[in-house]
Amino acid sequence: MDTADFVDFLLEHDVLAFGDFTTKSGRATPYFLNFGNLGTGAQIDTVGRAYADHVVATFGDDVDVLFGPAYKGIPLAVATAVSLQRDHGLDVAWTFDRKEAKDHGEGGSLVGHVPTDGQRVVIVEDVTTAGTSIRETVPKLRAVADVDVVGLVVSVDRRERGTRDDVTALDEVAEEFGLRATAITDIDRVVEVLTAPGRDVLSADDLDRLAAYRDRWGVS
Name the residues annotated as catalytic. Answer: 102, 104
Residue pair 205/175 in contact (Cβ under 8 Å)? The answer is: no
**Cα(180)–Cα(166) distance, integer angstroms:** 18
- For residue 161, give every residue at least 6 positions away whose Cβ sits within 8 Å of its Cβ, in sequence order, or none: 167, 168, 169, 172, 217, 218, 219, 220
Residue pair 159/127 in contact (Cβ under 8 Å)? The answer is: no
Give the three-state DSSP class for 142: helix
List alpha helices for 2-40, DSSP H: 3-12
Query: If you write DSSP's letter for every residue of 55-103 in order, what string do you get?
Result: HHHHHTT--SEEEE-TTTHHHHHHHHHHHHHHHH----EEEEEEEEEE-
